[in-house]
Structure 1
Amino acid sequence: MPTANNPAAVRDTTDTPAARGPRPPRFTAAWLRKLLINNAMIVVMLLVIAFFLYRSARFGTVENFSTILVAAAPFALIALGQTLVILTGGIDLSVGSVIAASAMVAALVAKNNPDQLWLALAAAVVVGLVAGAVNGFVVARMNVPPFIATLGMLTLASGLAYVVGGGAPINGLPAGFGAFANTEVLGLKIPVLLMIVFIVALAVVMKRTVYGMRVYAVGGNRHAAEIAGVKSRSILFSVYMISGVLAGLSGIMLASRVISGAPNLGAGYELDAIAAVVIGGASLMGGRGTIWGTALGLLLIQTLNNGLDLLIVPAYWQNVIKGVLIVAAVAVDVWANERRAN
């Protein structure tokens, strides 16, 4: 019990609710401003959706939402691979050409083996795996800058795509080849299911596993990571290999959708993938970014593509609008990060 001889035992009444006074209201202008800053990209996304909902009655339909997801799936795979690469401070410019090479090889295998279409899927994955492994080896073991290494692979894989088809598309594929992209499971097409699975799986890996922590460590400070015992070369090799495999899967998705192989398939896709990663808040310097951020950036780009198509905006104006939005979205993200830091 509190006594005069034991002052420490005297009950402290300075931290009671009465002593603290009334709590400030939670929903204030400052609270709202902080909420908007912390979720700046979500706000941008909601504004874009609201605009297209207002301008087009077709935009908000279930069928159109399904169309957006189907269109996003191939981009999502290469954007996820690009995220891992960018987190290490690198970049993979080759994914668009790897898509084309994988699609052409898969189409050729399917045409020659119409009764064993699983071989086409395996061939696309192998092409992506080999391309990613070569990129990883050149970057991690030979210390060639990622920009140069993957630029070389971009040219090589693009040439290979034309060589495989003799400079022409590969048509006349078995109807079953379209099953890879057009079969529905649980009401969703296989590419959409794969997109969801890979987003969730990689989000867990990057957030909850030692491997994810090491990828961030290498991107944040490679030298410090090596001192801490991280095998940075192995991490670099692995992220480029994963990027290649995902590009291979994306290639067969796109070829299967139209049941044809085209040597120019995937041209320019690497730019949209990089844009999705950057819009999602990742730093091109490495060490900062999330899988969920990339998914949001990707959805923003695909929503914009879809909405502009519905409004029958000419393709050249679409490029102008997308370019402005990409710069604006990144500027908003940079501004929000600065405000959070202050």
Structure 2
Amino acid sequence: MTKSDKKTVTEAVDHDTYTVTVKPLTFKLDGEKDFTLTVDKAKIATATDGLKDFLYNGSETSYVNDAVAYTGEDVATPAVQYPVLNADGTVKKEDGKVVYAELASDMYNVVSIKNSDGKAVKAAKDAGTYTVKIALTDKASKNYELKDAEFTFMVQKYKPFLDVEPPAWYASPLETAKMNNYVNGVGNTGLFSPNADITRADAVCVLFNMAGGKLNADGEFGFTEDTGYVTGFSDVDGHAYFAKALAWAKAAGVANGSNGQFRPYDKITREEFASLLANFAKVKGDYVAVDADAVLGSATDYTAWAKANGIMGNNGSAIDGTGNITRAQVAAMAVNYQPEKL
């Protein structure tokens, strides 16, 4: 087999036109027969739709609704992504969504970055829309072809939830909690309901998210199709949205319940959440008991621990350990204890 430049090769890989010579071994031909084979360039169409549903986490660049969170620093140019094709050339989809792949960074160079005024900039920083132009490297261009060489992305102030405004005391910790994936909104509404009381089940979900799948549970933590997750609590459906989190919490010793029940839909008090958080700290191996009387005069050991470690009561007001804790307060305590995700 020979390439267009007459060089002999054993396989057709790179873009080119090949001449294949067939020589009979176990059959007869009237002389040698040749045919040509052309390997076309693969066409790559860049896209930004694949940037959705990710969050900026402060250490690596990722995105929300095609927008990068403003940090005050230069923003890394988003990775070039393109839609994956099926064998028949149609765009691949999973659950109705287009599947995207990331173009290897050594296959292209960033030619230019322009802001919304059309001016060339060295890097995206200020809020606004940026247009990125790329070009394939010489090596990549041998076998690939760009259908479009530009894509746009936005830099905008990150707002975790529609009902959380910056003036609120909880805006900053909620932003961190959302970035760290400790908390989620209310369904698909984009809201958080920060001042609403939180249930015991949702509080455990926050702790499970804080564990990030990196803290192992020593106890029973199984799952079956029939019964769902094994939580160890008689009043919990193993298929409930919080069942996996609660199964982990029970197995790890974070949640214990009472009389074999957990009461997942009950509200949780401040001192009860402090207790769960203290148990979580024990799982991590960084819990150190404090003198409750010395810290607060009178309080549960875990509430005093939370106060002594700056996890709760930082605004100088009364702890009110027996009062229900709000969703915003849980997020704040989670961030105060573990400001960076595992």
Q: Same fold (TM over 0.5)?
A: no
With normalisation by structure 2, the TM-score equals 0.20
Q: TM-score, normalised by structure 1?
A: 0.20
Structure with the largest fraction of strand: 2
Q: Which has the larger radius of gyration?
A: 2
Return the structure number with greater helix share. 1
